[in-house]
């Protein structure tokens, strides 16, 4: 939704990400590459925290889940069977004057067929728009020294297919009972016609996906279960629930493989858009892979001896859209000590840095040495995973602002009293409130903070 509160918000987030080492445009020194971004140290930490929380909740904390990590380059036959070679395309129109390309559904109605005019004028230059055509979004490559029809392969457009092609392997190795699922986190590639809105529409992205295999009649209960889990997840990473909306996708707008889809939309500053998707993929993928490969992908029920192709429910979550929604949800401006302050109100569980340690003065070696001691204490504590920062640059006020801006929940200052009494000042990011605490109590206090 575009509202006064959203005014300039994207620009602020993009600038903060660049300035503070979260996200950089890829190959920036060469002018960048549209649809590609690189993570800096803090963005990498934020992204890894989100991925780890997903992995725990969706895979490792459950008894019915297995993890895989499949190859990114995918054999052509796999993507022919899945329908991607034939149908993973977006409707495209090209301006006859400036030659800019547009996704037709972003500038007009989406229900027009090939060859029909989508509206007369180019949004960029006002020139006449050409006819609709379909543009396949997969990145093609060749495997081996000879580039010929037989050597064509693709960078995977979704992580899902690497799960379906390993279904039989996991069943043969682990003999799971239905229902069970296979989860994967990894890169996917889409040659989007119009990448846009920072991390929202990328050409290289990361997905966190589960393919959950069920008896055909049991998909509805499982769909509901994953719906609840997805809501629980987005709350756990700090995505503003008041800005998320569930939307049942109509038949005409569903992907070719889906019989039911729920989108979880988020109110981005550039509009209400898809954050995550939940789809009932039926037996579409396994059945097609069985037909195309000749491998038997049926599941034999040990109790009834019945054999059938399981049906699939798929919660699919984009990593970058999670990162963006978390940043947008966390960005806060308030007034502190008579000054406007901007800070990231990140949940400690996703915050890139859990605590920062400062000596009150940089030029007092005894303070610096004590602060280093406190820093090492926290740095080595497995509870914080090394996500602790030492800062002695500038005055204390500036250090607080810097940590607030990157979402560090607590700052710890070592001063002259610390040398005598063995205590420190602990300052909370959200309130600016400062408390005195014994150094021995510090780790217990920080460990006991609610992570989310």
> Is residue 265 within the footprint of ligand GAP (CB under 6 A)?
no
Measured between alpha carbons, how far is 389 from 372 in angstroms, rounded to an integer? 10
> Is residue 267 within the footprint of ligand GAP (CB under 6 A)?
no
The minimum distance between CB 10 and ligand GAP, in angstroms, equals 15
> Is residue 316 within the footprint of ligand GAP (CB under 6 A)?
yes
The minimum distance between CB 72 and ligand GAP, in angstroms, equals 14
CA distances to 76, 79, 178 from 292, in Å: 11, 10, 24
Q: Which positions from 286 to 315 touch ligand GAP by CB under 6 A, shown as an x/- string?
A: ----------------------------x-
Among 164, 189, 212, 276, binds ligand GAP (CB under 6 A): 276
> Which region, judged by CB under 6 A, interacts with ligand GAP, from 229-237, 275-283, 329-337, 387-395?
275-283
The minimum distance between CB 127 and ligand GAP, in angstroms, equals 27
Output 193 or 378, the one with its CB closest to ligand GAP.
193
Beta bridge partners of 276: 264, 317
> What per-residue string of b and e applies to 84-95 under the rule 16 or more CB within 10 Å gives b?
bbeebebbbbbb
CA distances to 116, 119, 131, 192, 193 from 95, in Å: 14, 11, 9, 17, 13
Output 34 or 428, the one with its CB closest to ligand GAP.
34
Beta bridge partners of 437: 424
> Is residue 77 within the footprint of ligand GAP (CB under 6 A)?
no
> Is residue 320 within the footprint of ligand GAP (CB under 6 A)?
yes
> What per-residue string of b and e applies to 98-132 under the rule 16 or more CB within 10 Å gives b?
eeeebbbeeebeeeeeeeeebeeebeeeebebbeb
Q: What are the tokens at 325?
A: 């929604």
Q: Which residues are CB-neighbours of 385 under 8 A, at least 6 positions away?
A: 354
Output 318 or 359, the one with its CB closest to ligand GAP.
318
CA 107 to chain CA mean position, Å: 26
Output 239 or 378, the one with its CB closest to ligand GAP.
239
The minimum distance between CB 286 and ligand GAP, in angstroms, equals 14
Output 201 or 427, the one with its CB closest to ligand GAP.
201
Question: How much is the CA Rg of the chain, to the nearest whole Å?
Answer: 25
> What per-residue string of b and e applies to 262-285 under the rule 16 or more CB within 10 Å gives b?
bbbbbbbbeebeebbbbbbbbbbb
| Total residues in contact with ligand GAP, by rule CB under 6 A | 19
> Is residue 321 within the footprint of ligand GAP (CB under 6 A)?
yes
Among 186, 217, 188, which residue's Cα sits nearest to residue 280? Answer: 217
Among 318, 348, 407, 409, binds ligand GAP (CB under 6 A): 318
Cis peptide before 20 (omega within 30 of 0): no
> Is residue 20 within the footprint of ligand GAP (CB under 6 A)?
no
The minimum distance between CB 398 and ligand GAP, in angstroms, equals 35
**Contact between 208 and 317 (Cβ < 8 Å):** yes
Q: Which positions from 198 to 217 touch ligand GAP by CB under 6 A, shown as an x/- string?
A: ---xx--x-x-x--------
Output 162 or 407, the one with its CB closest to ligand GAP.
162
Output 155 or 275, the one with its CB closest to ligand GAP.
275
Q: Which positions from 163 to 182 touch ligand GAP by CB under 6 A, shown as an x/- string?
A: --------------------
Q: DSSP secondary-structure letter at 137?
A: -
Output 268 or 375, the one with its CB closest to ligand GAP.
268
**Contact between 355 and 412 (Cβ < 8 Å):** yes
List residues binding ligand GAP (CB under 6 A). Answer: 158, 160, 190, 192, 201-202, 205, 207, 209, 274-277, 314, 316-318, 320-321
């Amino acid at each position: 939704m575009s509202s006064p509160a959203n005014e300039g918000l994207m620009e602020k987030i993009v600038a903060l990400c660049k300035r503070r080492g979260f996200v950089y445009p890829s190959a920036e020194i060469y002018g960048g590459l549209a649809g590609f971004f690189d993570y800096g140290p803090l963005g990498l930490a934020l992204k890894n925290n989100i991925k780890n929380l997903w992995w725990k909740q969706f895979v490792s904390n459950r008894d019915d889940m297995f993890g895989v990590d499949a190859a990114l380059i995918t054999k052509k036959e796999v993507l022919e069977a899945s329908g991607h070679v034939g149908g993973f395309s977006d409707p495209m129109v090209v301006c006859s004057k400036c030659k800019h390309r547009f996704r037709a559904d972003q500038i007009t109605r989406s229900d027009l067929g090939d060859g029909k005019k989508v509206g007369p004028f180019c949004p960029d230059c006002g020139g006449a728009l050409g006819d609709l055509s379909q543009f396949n979004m997969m990145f093609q490559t060749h495997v081996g020294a000879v580039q010929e029809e037989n050597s064509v392969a693709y960078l995977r457009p979704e992580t899902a297919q690497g799960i379906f092609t390993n279904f039989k392997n996991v069943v043969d190795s682990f003999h799971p009972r239905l229902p069970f699922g296979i989860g994967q986190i990894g890169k996917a590639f889409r040659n989007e016609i119009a990448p846009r809105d920072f991390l929202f529409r990328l050409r290289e992205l990361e997905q966190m996906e589960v393919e959950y295999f069920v008896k055909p009649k049991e998909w509805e209960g499982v769909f509901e279960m994953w719906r609840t889990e997805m809501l629980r997840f987005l709350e756990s990473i700090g995505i503003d629930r008041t800005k998320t909306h569930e939307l049942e996708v109509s038949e005409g707008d569903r992907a070719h493989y889906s019989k039911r889809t729920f989108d979880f939309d988020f109110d981005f500053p550039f509009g209400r858009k898809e954050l995550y998707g939940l789809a009932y993929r039926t037996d579409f993928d396994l059945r097609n892979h069985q037909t195309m490969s000749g491998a038997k992908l049926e599941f034999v029920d040990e109790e009834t001896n019945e054999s059938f192709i399981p049906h699939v429910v798929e919660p699919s979550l984009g990593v970058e859209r999670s990162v963006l929604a978390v940043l947008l949800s966390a960005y806060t401006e308030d007034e502190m000590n008579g000054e406007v302050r901007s800070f990231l109100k990140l949940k400690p569980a996703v915050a890139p840095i859990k605590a920062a340690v400062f000596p009150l003065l940089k030029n007092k070696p005894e303070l610096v040495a004590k602060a280093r001691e406190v820093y090492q204490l926290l740095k080595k504590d497995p509870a914080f995973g090394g996500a602790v920062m030492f800062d002695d640059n500038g005055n204390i006020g500036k250090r607080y602002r810097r940590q607030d801006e990157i979402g560090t929940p607590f700052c710890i200052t070592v001063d002259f009293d610390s040398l005598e009494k063995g205590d420190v000042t602990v300052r909370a990011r959200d309130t600016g409130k400062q408390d005195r605490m014994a150094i021995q109590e510090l780790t217990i206090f920080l460990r006991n903070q609610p992570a989310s």
